[in-house]
Amino acid sequence: MLALVTSMETRELSTGRVRIRRATPGDLDVLVELEQASFARERMSARQIGRHLDSLSAEVLVAVRDHQIVGAAILFYRRTSRVARLYSIAVAASERGRGIGEALLDAAEDHARRRGRPLLRLEVRVDNAVAQRLYERHGYQRFGTHLAYYEDGHDALRYEKALA
């Protein structure tokens, strides 16, 4: 799981340093592995991830520790909207609980701000209490529900945060 590391933001975590950078096409195989390992359903294909790596309407960020990609976040932007959408955060199982998801969330917010998006929205499964706590700790407010949003019929909670 080695990946080229270039132009990064370094974030100091209690468990050591993690670097956040924009993903490159060379990261595709590792991103696909991470996607497969992190999500039982609603996975992006290699083709979809590859398209997002080169897209102006998406941003794929990776968390790197010791030259290995240990997490990723995917953001979407619409030209006609001032709202950014956090599509997903995935963290390698061996790195969970070490602040990687939090670092990716902070970086996603920074990137959305830099793109002139004052609001960040996301959906989270109703049964994903860990993610819900993360978002709520970071000031996200629940504003709605998508019924039967996921393939398996689970609902999604909708959250948003104003980015100051």
Q: Is residue 20 part of a domain?
A: yes
Q: What is the pTM of this model?
A: 0.87
In the chain, the number of structural domains is 1
Identify whether 4 is part of a domain: no
> What is the model's pLDDT at position 89?
94
Q: Is residue 114 part of a domain?
A: yes
Taking the CB of residue 127, how many other CB atoms lie within 10 A of it? 10
In a domain, 61, yes or no: yes
pLDDT of residue 11: 54
Read off the CATH number of the domain in which 46 is found.
3.40.630.30
- CA 77/CA 88 separation, integer angstroms: 13
Percent of the chain past pLDDT 90, that is, above it, reads 76
pLDDT tens by residue, 125-148: 999 999 999 999 999 999 999 999
Is the residue at 1 inside a domain?
Answer: no
d(CA 95, CA 125): 21
> Could you tell me if residue 153 is inside a domain?
yes
pLDDT at 123: 96
Q: Can you give the pLDDT at residue 4?
A: 32
- The pLDDT score that the predictor gives to residue 2 is 30
pLDDT score of 51: 93
Under 8 Å between Cβ of 161 and 84: no
Q: φ, ψ for residue 36 (rounded to 5)?
A: -65, -40
Q: What are 4-14's pLDDT values in tens digits? A: 333 456 555 54
Instruction: Answer whether 135's CB lies under 8 Å from 108's CB.
Output: no
For the chain, which ranges sit under pLDDT 70? 1-16
Domain of residue 21 covers 9-162
